[in-house]
Amino acid sequence: MIRLEQVSKTFPGAARPAVDRLDLEVPAGKTCVLIGPSGCGKTTTMRIVNRLIEPDAGRIVVGGEDVTRADPVQLRRRIGYVIQQVGLFPHMTIAQNVATVPQLLGWPAERIKPRVAEMLTLVGLEPAQFLDRHPRHLSGGQRQRVGVARALAADPPVMLMDEPFGAVDPIVRANLQAEFGAILRQLAKTVIFVTHDIDEAIRMGDLVAIMKDGRLVQCAPPEQLLSAPANAFVADFVGADRALKRLALASAGDIAAPGEAPAGAPTVAAATSLRDVLSILLAAGADAAWVAGSGVVTMAAIRTRAALKV
Amino acid sequence: MLRDMIAWAAAHGHDLEQAAGRHLSLSLTALGAAILLALPLALALVRRPSLAGSAIGAVNVLRTIPSLALLVAMLPLLGTGFVPAAVALTLYGLPAILLNTYTALREVDPDIVEAGLGQGMTERQLMRRIKLPLALPVIFAGIRTAAVQIVSAATLAAFIGGGGLGELITAGMGTLDMPQLVLGGLAVAALAVATEIGFALAERGVRRTVGSAA
């Protein structure tokens, strides 16, 4: 669990606070995505959690413990940290990079070695192939995988991720989002994730916190953010296509009902997102589609699902 | 001429050996002292940016003083002999090492520094495990520059009684003994070139072990 209470930070010489009396709570095992226009204070907020930035006021609680005055070095060893530029140590092998925090914590070598291999396997890198290579021999996507493996190595309950997929191409990004989303959920990590990409926020977040001028505007599950934006700023930020974004959150199997589709209706897999089903129906000029193994999805059902409860 | 030089070297083998040995010990002493002074000084300056500006300015002034002036300036302070020559040469070699070390440590990629801090390294661990290894090739390049500068400038130590190969040149000039004079000059040149090549090879080895910061 991560909780920020009335946290403020004004940088020297700045006209207004970068973070202004912010309250935020991320329940244990959940991912909270911080998002907002540049300069909204999202990265500052994240860096306050591991005290790379010291707040002027407020309280930081991590896992039930007030860490506002804790030793920052010890604190950071308990918090996984991933940044966009990855920051792998270029003079060390992949194995040495991943072993960083366990080594700082004084783990014995015979415990570090298997752990490093386990982490590389977890992030989809064959240990035998990567352990002894240097970061400069890896692709951008592979480096970011190593970055995540390094952050997870000492099994920290809490992870901070600052635009971790911002520097890789869109196809690699989509793969990393899906894979790491699953890994973080499976390991029940409590995560603060910073991005400026609303689609990424909706995909990765159990909670999405929209910030503006150092303040929290709305913090809600993606579904709620899209269906009931708190104000015009949030509605504008999530975009005019927020009904479609909501459809993307559900799949055909979720709303399939017993029934009959007219002859010639398209067939979709149960895992197809409703957004894609809508697109298929529009393209086919059909009013309903068969969902393999679980009935039909009708245009009317999609329309009901998409309607915004204002 | 060549035959004269060989004849002179054969007759004065001992003098030549002694001058070369003195030149080397003078250079090594000065280089060692310059390294021992410059490295901790650079570390201290990196930690105190407020002092760094004026200190770097002072070192840059030191760099503009010609080596002969530096040697002669030692006369009223320390007299003649090995020690004043070594002190002057130390001061002469100091700037290259200090400036390279300071710059290299400051210019370590900030993302790598942030990653190190974010993983929970102390400032000390960050310096020892990340910044120093990454700065090493540039630090070494500074040491190489200083070594060549010191070996060359040590020739002038003869002017304040510091000995070395410069003695052959000054003595040769005094007695218009051409073979001795030219031999001294060639020996100094050979020593400087050997220093340059030796350090260049060593530097390549350092770069290979540390790896490029790509």
Q: Write out pLDDT tens, residues A56-115.
A: 999 999 988 999 999 999 999 999 999 988 899 999 999 999 999 999 999 999 999 999
**SS3 track for chain A:** CEEEEEEEECCCCCCCCCEEEEEEEECCCCEEEEECCCCCCHHHHHHHHCCCCCCCEEEEEECCEECCCCCHHHHHHCEEEEECCCCCCCCCCHHHHHCHHHHHCCCCHHHHHHHHHHHHHHCCCCHHHHCCCCHHHCCHHHHHHHHHHHHHCCCCCEEEEECCCCCCCHHHHHHHHHHHHHHHHHCCCEEEEECCCHHHHHHHCCEEEEEECCEEEEEECHHHHHHCCCCHHHHHHHCCCHHHHHHHHCEHHHHCECCCCCCCCCEECCCCEHHHHHHHHHHHCCCEEEECCCEEEEHHHHHHHHCCCC
pLDDT at A310: 46
pLDDT of residue A83: 92
Confidence (pLDDT) at A216: 95
- Rounded CA separation A26/A33 (Å): 10
Tell me the HSE value of A18 on the side-chain side, using a 13 A CA sphere.
20
- Chain B, residues 110-139, CB within 8 A of chain A, namely 111-112, 114-122, 125, 129-130, 133-134
| Angstrom distance (rounded) from CA A37 to CA A23 | 19
A132 touching chain B per CB within 8 A: no
Q: What is the average pLDDT value for chain A, to the nearest integer?
A: 92
pLDDT at B122 exceeding the cut of 60: yes
d(CA B30, CA B203): 20
**Nearest-by-CA chain B residue for A133:** B211
A86 with B133: Cβ contact below 8 A: no
A77/B114 CB distance under 8 A: no
Give me the pLDDT at residue A189, please: 95
- pLDDT over 60 at A156, yes or no: yes
pLDDT of residue B126 exceeding 80 = yes
CATH architecture of the domain A2-241 equals 3-Layer(aba) Sandwich (3.40)
Mean pLDDT of A1-22: 94
pLDDT at B64: 87
Taking CB atoms and an 8 Å cutoff, what residues of chain B touch A91? 133-134, 210-211, 213
Query: What pLDDT shows up at residue B206?
Result: 80
Q: What is the pLDDT of residue B210?
A: 67
How sure is the predictor about B214, in pLDDT bands with cuts at 50, 70 and 90? very low
Domain boundaries, chain B: 2-6+13-210
| C-alpha span between B115 and A151 (Å, rounded) | 10
- Shortest distance between the Cα of A62 and any Cα of chain B, in A, equals 16
- Give the relative orientation of helices B67-78 and B82-106 as an angle to the nearest 10 degrees: 130
Q: Sorting pLDDT into bands at 50, 70 and 90, what band is A308?
A: low
Q: Which residues of A are less than 8 Å from B121 in CB distance?
A: 73, 100, 104
- Percent of chain A, pLDDT > 90? 69
Residue A292, classified by CB atoms within 10 Å of its CB into exposed (0-12), middle (13-18) or buried (19+), is middle
**Per-residue pLDDT at A309:** 57
Beta-carbon separation of A52 and B112 below 8 A: no
For residue A91, what pLDDT is reported? 92
A222-281 pLDDT per residue, tens: 989 998 899 999 999 988 888 888 888 888 888 888 888 888 889 998 889 999 999 999
| B115: closest chain A residue by CA | A87
Partner-chain contact B125 A77, CB within 8 Å: no
Mean per-residue pLDDT, A179-198? 94
Q: Is the pLDDT of residue B85 over 60?
A: yes
> Are the folds of A2-241 and A245-306 the same?
no
Q: In 3-state terms, what secondary structure has residue B159?
A: helix
This prediction's pTM: 0.83
Task: With CB atoms and an 8 Å threshold, state whether A87 touches B210.
Answer: no
Instruction: Quote the ipTM score.
Output: 0.84
Cβ–Cβ below 8 Å for A87 and B133: no
In A, which residues are within 8 Å of B210 by CB distance?
A: 91
Report pLDDT for B49: 83
* pLDDT at residue number B213: 43
Helix A170-186 to helix A140-152 angle (10° resolution) is 20
Query: How many Cα atoms occupy the beta-carbon half-sphere of A97 within 13 Å?
Result: 30
**Residue-level length of chain A:** 310
Task: Select from A48, A71, A73 the residue whose CB has the most chain B CBs within 10 Å, as the one to mutate to test that interface.
Answer: A73
Q: Contact A88/B115, CB-based, under 8 Å?
A: yes
Q: What mean pLDDT value characterizes chain B?
A: 89
For residue range B4-36, list pLDDT tens digits in order.
888 888 888 888 888 889 999 999 999 999 999
Task: Return the percentage of chain B with pLDDT > 90, whole number.
Answer: 50
Q: Which tens digits make up the pLDDT trace of B127-175?
A: 999 999 999 999 999 999 999 999 999 999 888 888 888 888 888 888 8
Over residues A5-26, the mean pLDDT reads: 94
- Residue A19, pLDDT > 80, answer yes
To the nearest whole Å, the CA of A147 is away from the closest chain B CA by 9
Band of pLDDT at residue B211, cut at 50, 70 and 90: low
CA-nearest residue of chain A to B109?
A87
Superfamily of domain B2-6+13-210: MetI-like (1.10.3720.10)
CB distance A87–B114 less than 8 Å? yes
Task: Decide if A91 and B121 are in contact by the 8 Å CB cutoff.
Answer: no
* Of residues B118, B134, B212, nearest to A76 (C-beta): B118
Checking if the pLDDT of A31 tops 90, the result is: yes
Percent of chain A with pLDDT over 70: 99
A83·B212 Cβ contact <8 A = no
Domain ranges of chain A: 2-241, 245-306
The correct CATH number of A245-306 out of 3.90.1280, 3.40.1800, 3.30.450, 1.10.1740 is 3.90.1280
pLDDT tens per residue across span B150-163: 999 999 988 888 88
